[in-house]
Copies of this chain bind each other. A is one copy, B any other.
Amino acid sequence: MSLNKQILIDSLPQDRLQESNYRLESGPVPEPSEGEVLCRTQVLMVAAGVRAGLQGSASYAGAPKTGIVMNGTGVARVEKSNDAGFAAGDLVVCNAGWQEYSIHRAGALSKVDNDVDPVHYLGALGTNGLTAYFGLLDVGRPAAGETVLVSAAAGSVGHLVGQMARIKGCTVVGITSTEEKCRLLTDRLGYHRSVSYRSADFRAELKEACPDGVDIYFDNTGGNILGMALRRMNNSSRIVCCGVVSQYDTGNPAGAPTGIPGLLVNKRIRMEGFLVFDYAAQYDNARKEIKSWINSGELNPLYDEFKGLESAPAAFVDLLAGGNLGTRIIRVADQD
């Protein structure tokens, strides 16, 4: 039988994550016990939020450890099932980890509908898409005509937030890193305006891009970008705290910007964090609406593909440096 290639956490990063924090190993493919299912990974998603789990501090991803397989959500094909609910060949979403084969209790698997490309379950219909959906709609509560500002706007969550805000009738402004990404936002993703935070005139350009101020800032970054956005917020505006990518890839996360809480008081700003898992009971309804947008062509989810399990560490390091467009995925096995 073939071997199971795995990528393990070799050491915890002290400052910026490096490929050398991981190591590749091979071992026997495990055998499923009664009630378990053996899955073969097809596609993995690489997500910035997982980086927080390597910092050793409070995170929903649990405590970091060396010597274990790196965690990651994937679409997998059932190879062998000892549970009546699954059969070889079924496609499922699972916490596959960075490895070719994984074993799961049947209750930890969810079958993938065959009416859309399964990769969407790692993007627009997966954690990223649901995060965009509930963060924007439930926490942000947009009204048509409002201005929605998104950071990491070409990223896995951000590129969906901007499109959903446009679908809801908002004016959408994106903050991203490069000129190329700025063009992508306006040319392909329907953002009305875009700004690069690397620009020497970022402050002035952001102001110009938001002539009516900002009603909802969807914050994927924290740090300085949050500080700049704060100064653009309207009275009674909302800051959706989704992630802090500026703070993940460092051993020494920065303090928050000045103006907190002073500006929150003067402008009656609501700043609210959320975790998508709290919305699990509403996933099915959300997926129905998101699928309808995909099928109508209103929503255009982007996937940014790397090939081969071995590419995962480099893909993750690059993602944390802002290299991705949309959801970054690793194609582990060709779908047969």
Identify the A interface with B (CB < 8 A): 52, 58-60, 219, 222, 226, 239, 241-244, 247, 253-275, 278
A43 to B239, CA, bound (A): 41
| B261→A268 contact, CB < 8 A | no
The answer, among B52, B60, B254, B265, for a CB contact under 8 Å with A258, is: B254
> Nearest 5 CB-CB pairs, A to B?
A264-B273, A256-B256, A256-B260, A265-B273, A241-B261
Inter-chain contacts of A239 with B (CB < 8 A): 261
Smallest Cβ distance from A232 to chain B, in angstroms? 13
A247 to B275, CA, bound (A): 31
A266 to B60, CA, bound (A): 6
Copies in the complex: 2
| B265→A256 contact, CB < 8 A | no
| B58→A219 contact, CB < 8 A | no
| B253→A262 contact, CB < 8 A | yes
Task: Across the interface, name the chain B residue whose C-beta is closest to A222.
Answer: B261
Smallest Cβ distance from A202 to chain B, in angstroms? 19
**Besides the contacts A266-B273, A269-B272, A271-B271, what 11 more A-B pairs have beta carbons closer than 8 Å?**
A219-B261, A239-B261, A241-B265, A244-B261, A256-B258, A261-B271, A265-B275, A266-B275, A269-B273, A270-B271, A271-B272
Smallest Cβ distance from A251 to chain B, in angstroms? 13
Inter-chain contacts of A58 with B (CB < 8 A): 263, 266
Smallest Cβ distance from A240 to chain B, in angstroms? 10
| B261→A273 contact, CB < 8 A | yes
| A273→B278 contact, CB < 8 A | no
Task: Across the interface, name the chain B residue whose C-beta is closest to A223.
Answer: B261
Inter-chain contacts of A243 with B (CB < 8 A): 265
Inter-chain contacts of A263 with B (CB < 8 A): 58, 273
7 inter-chain pairs at a CB distance below 8 angstroms, sorted by A residue, are: A58-B263, A222-B261, A256-B256, A256-B258, A265-B275, A266-B275, A270-B272
Inter-chain contacts of A222 with B (CB < 8 A): 260-262
Task: Across the interface, name the chain B residue whose C-beta is closest to A236.
Answer: B278
Looking at A52, A262, A274, which has the most chain B CB atoms within 10 Å of its CB? A262
Smallest Cβ distance from A253 to chain B, in angstroms? 6
| B264→A272 contact, CB < 8 A | yes
Smallest Cβ distance from A235 to chain B, in angstroms? 9
| A241→B254 contact, CB < 8 A | no
A138 to B137, CA, bound (A): 22
Smallest Cβ distance from A52 to chain B, in angstroms? 8
- Given A257-B256, A258-B255, verify A274-B265 contact (CB < 8 Å): yes
Inter-chain contacts of A272 with B (CB < 8 A): 264, 268-272
Inter-chain contacts of A266 with B (CB < 8 A): 58-60, 273, 275
Inter-chain contacts of A273 with B (CB < 8 A): 261, 263-270
| A261→B265 contact, CB < 8 A | no
Task: Across the interface, name the chain B residue whose C-beta is closest to A60.
Answer: B266
A255 to B270, CA, bound (A): 18
A58 to B274, CA, bound (A): 29
